[in-house]
Structure 1
């Protein structure tokens, strides 16, 4: 666990480390803000609050926004800050018109962010409850594949190439494990109305 991280998992729940809590009034305000988000608060003390739930299912954007509105802030480690930058850059790279092959994606990502590939892998490993960098990139790539299947008429081979897959078989195999059906069946279900396109797109954009 890194020093000054905004979250520490423990047996009871998740500990959030919070700046600008300097008195009993601040403790009460933080408890009220967290409970207002529907969180079950186990404890609040100066500089920290413990809530029920693993780190990977908490809505960090809402927590951060609620605390900021009340005049507080989550303490964030350098690793967490880099992870946030990585996530934004991954989506930007996936949506670029120039195709990036699998083997080129992480080196390009590292170059764009001005860090080494080793640092990228390490920052994901240091954030509690987070998946690996490669796992995250694969998941976002397949999310984007779902979006393209739902909103475009591109053939499946073109989608595979656009997402950087070297072969249709590789893409189809990963997609099947991810979505529990092949890309062609997924699109057929969309066209048959079994899946709702607008709901899928809204989900994928979150």
Structure 2
């Protein structure tokens, strides 16, 4: 993300809005030092304004880390974060790993409920035209690229991604669909992840 612009204050905070130390991921909150130098709310959406502006800070919804030199690094959107067996999984990092496969045109990582509590990692994948890819190949491609706990349990190969009007993947649609008949389950298939 870069360094903080002059005239803006920023903090990385936990779920209680307590400031976190450098190197620890949390939500990026911002505010301007001068009045009216920053947006004061969402036009025509008072409920979204109240949700975003809390404790005199604008809550960005971005999971970010501030390095000791003051550089801010984007990790993930807060709503896209996945908690699997006590570990935080960045959907963005998993998406980058999967999208590095030459057969993958697009990928969306999203949480699905786990029978053990918390979440399981799910991947929806759109292939490049003329390419084939088996779900187990996705798992093997991820090994060594991301942490073992972040490798998707569920994989769906789609012919079309659900998109917003501006071309972003609708992860909520994928999440709401849950485990579908075309969802491959790594655990049910007996595929073990190499650590």
TM-score (norm 1): 0.31
Higher RCO (CA 8 Å, separation ≥ 6 residues): 1
More helix by share: 1
Larger radius of gyration: 1
More strand by share: 2
